Structure 1
Amino acid sequence: MTADRLTSVLLAGGGSAGHVSPLLALADCLTARHDGLQIVALGTAQGLEARLVPARGYRLETVPKVPFPRRPSGDLLRLPGNLNAAVKAAGRAIDAAGAQVVVGFGGYVSTPAYLAARKRRIPIVVHEQNARPGMANKLGARFSRHVGVTFGSTPLAGGQLVGMPLRREITHLDRAAHRAEAMAHFGLDPQWPTLLVTGGSLGAQRLNTAFEASVSGLSAAGIQVLHITGEGKDFTPADTGVGAPYKVVSYADRMDLAYSAADVVVARSGANTVCELTAVGLPAVYVPLPIGNGEQRLNATDVVAAGGGIVVDDADVSAEWVASTLIPLLSDRERLHAMAAAAASIGVRDGDERLADLVESAFATGGRA
Structure 2
Amino acid sequence: MKVVLAGGGTAGHVEPALATADALRRAEPDAQITMLGTERGLETRLVPERGYDLELIPPVPLPRRLTVELVRIPARMRGSVRQAATVLRERQAEVLVGFGGYVALPAYLAARRVGIPIVVHEANARPGLANRIGARFTSHVAVASPGVQLAHGEHVGIPLRRSIALLDRSAQRAEARAFFGLEPDKRTLLVFGGSQGARRLNDTIMAAVDAVLDAGAQILHAVGAGNIDSVTARPGYVPVPYIDRMDLAYAAADLVLCRAGAITCAELAAVGLPAVYVPLPHGNGEQRLNAEPTVSAGGGVLIRDSDLTPDEFIGSVVPLLRDADRLRTMGAAAADLGRRDADDHLVRMMRHAVEQASGSDVNSGDGTDSGGQ
TM-score by length of 2: 0.94
Distance 2:330 2:115 in 1: 46
- Deviation of the 1:202 alpha carbon: 2.4
Question: Does residue 37 of structure 2 align to residue 51 of structure 1?
Answer: no
Q: What is the aligned partner in structure 2 of residue 148 from structure 1?
A: 142
Question: Does residue 186 of structure 2 align to residue 186 of structure 1?
Answer: no
Question: Does residue 333 of structure 2 align to residue 339 of structure 1?
Answer: no
Distance 1:121 1:101 in 2: 9
How has the CA–CA distance of structure 1 residues 113 and 235 changed in structure 2, closer, same or farther, with 3 Å as cutoff?
same
Q: What is the aligned partner in structure 1 of residue 171 from structure 2?
A: 177
Q: What is the aligned partner in structure 2 of residue 130 from structure 1?
A: 124
Q: Which residue identity does 1:24 align to in structure 2?
A: L
Q: Is the 8 A contact 1:235 1:248 kept in 2?
A: no
1:204 to 164, 178, 198: 198
Question: Does residue 312 of structure 2 align to residue 313 of structure 1?
Answer: no
List runs of 5+ in structure 2 lacking aligned partners: 358-370
List runs of 5+ in structure 1 lacking aligned partners: 1-5
- Deviation of the 1:236 alpha carbon: 5.3
After superposition, the C-alpha distances for 1:226-258 in whole angstroms (9 at most, x for unaligned) are 001122222554677xxx600000111111000
TM-score by length of 1: 0.95
Secondary structure at 1:300 match in 2: helix
* Identical-pair percentage: 53
1:363 to 338, 341, 354: 354
Q: Is the 8 A contact 1:215 1:237 kept in 2?
A: no
Secondary structure at 2:119 match in 1: strand
2:222 to 218, 228, 241: 228
Distance 1:64 1:113 in 2: 11
Distance 2:321 2:26 in 1: 41
Q: Is the 8 A contact 1:216 1:238 kept in 2?
A: no
How has the CA–CA distance of structure 1 residues 221 and 237 changed in structure 2, closer, same or farther, with 3 Å as cutoff?
farther
After superposition, the C-alpha distances for 1:153-205 in whole angstroms (9 at most, x for unaligned) are 10001001111100111111111111111111100001210000010212211
Q: Which residue identity does 2:204 align to in structure 1?
A: A
Cα-Cα RMSD: 1.3
Distance 1:233 1:96 in 2: 46
Question: Does residue 3 of structure 2 align to residue 9 of structure 1?
Answer: yes
1:354 to 335, 345, 355: 345
Q: Which residue identity does 1:111 align to in structure 2?
A: L
- Deviation of the 1:75 alpha carbon: 1.3
Secondary structure at 1:234 match in 2: helix
Distance 2:65 2:270 in 1: 39
Please show how residues 192-341 of structure 1 align to structure 2 within 5 Å: 192-235=186-229, 237=231, 245-341=236-332
- Deviation of the 1:268 alpha carbon: 0.7
Secondary structure at 2:5 match in 1: strand
The structure in which a higher percent of residues are helix is: 2
Question: Does residue 155 of structure 2 align to residue 161 of structure 1?
Answer: yes
1:62 to 11, 31, 56: 56
Q: Is the 8 A contact 1:132 1:155 kept in 2?
A: yes
Distance 1:120 1:155 in 2: 28
Distance 1:315 1:53 in 2: 37
Q: Which residue identity does 1:187 align to in structure 2?
A: G
Q: What is the aligned partner in structure 1 of residue 366 from structure 2?
A: none
- Deviation of the 1:97 alpha carbon: 0.9
Aligned pair count reads: 360
After superposition, the C-alpha distances for 1:63-91 in whole angstroms (9 at most, x for unaligned) are 11111122232311111111111101111
After superposition, the C-alpha distances for 1:303-340 in whole angstroms (9 at most, x for unaligned) are 11110001100111121112111111111111111101
Secondary structure at 2:220 match in 1: strand
Distance 1:11 1:192 in 2: 43
Q: What is the aligned partner in structure 1 of residue 66 from structure 2?
A: 72
